[in-house]
Copies of this chain bind each other. A is one copy, B any other.
Amino acid sequence: MKIPRAIQNVIESFEKLPGIGPKSAQRLTFYLLHVPQAELDRFAKALENLRKDTVLCSICFTVGDLDPCSICSDKQRDQTFICVVEQPLDVMALEKSGKFNGVYHVLHGKIDPLNNIGPDEIYIKQLVNRVQNGNVSEVVISTNPTMEGEATAMYIAKQLKISIDKKSDLFMKDLIISRIGRGLPTGADIEYADEITLQRAMDGRSKY
């Protein structure tokens, strides 16, 4: 028995999503067959408008409905303190923590040579320009503590330092470049932590 084209189309669309295999795609599609048409139309409309109704902020490159985004245009926030993240979702996670009152810079990826993503494919140049042109006191590089994320962080730190050295601006000399703290996550078990995490946790110990 051939699967009808209309069903196969939806299955194929689901299969392209990350983390959804052929079986899950089938399951989701057949679930949707039992859903009212209005619900399907709403889902379809939302997908159609996803990119049309969102813009990249021209300052920090996060995804929002306004340009500049609500964070970059917020006068209450410290516009001289930039947190560099890989993805817009990281912005949301950090915002939820409520700890950071600066602004962001979204790279939209990480340097990942295995997937043909070099420094020019992500928004690193824009960050360097932003730091050179603007009034920036600190850049905290908050890429993920993965191999690619660490490499990206090191590359960015180096680029920023080169750009500081080029300029003889006194203010730039005071620019702080930092990396987000790494160590044991809350609720972790030292017994089960991996070696690198423990090394980083020792390096990153704080005084009482």
Contact = CB atoms under 8 A, between A and B. Distances in A.
Interface of A: 1-7, 9-10, 12-13, 16-20, 24, 26-34, 37, 39-54, 63-65, 69-71, 87-89, 91-92, 95, 108
Contact of A44 (B20, B48, B63, B92): B48
Nearest to A55: B4
Contacts of A12: 46
Given A6-B53, A47-B47, 18 more contacts: A1-B69, A4-B65, A5-B53, A6-B54, A6-B65, A7-B50, A9-B46, A9-B49, A13-B43, A16-B39, A17-B31, A17-B32, A19-B28, A26-B92, A30-B63, A33-B50, A40-B50, A43-B44
6 contacts: A6-B49, A9-B46, A9-B50, A17-B31, A40-B50, A44-B45
A49 B8 CA distance: 11
Contacts of A13: 42-43, 46-47
Q: How many of these chains are in the complex?
A: 2
Contacts of A18: 27-28, 31
Interface of A, helix, strand, loop or mixed by DSSP: helix
A2 B70 contact: yes
A105 to B, nearest CB: 14
A175 B124 CA distance: 74
A46 B44 CA distance: 8
Nearest to A32: B50
A30 to B, nearest CB: 5
A7 B43 contact: no
Contacts of A47: 10, 13, 32, 40, 43-44, 47
A162 to B, nearest CB: 29
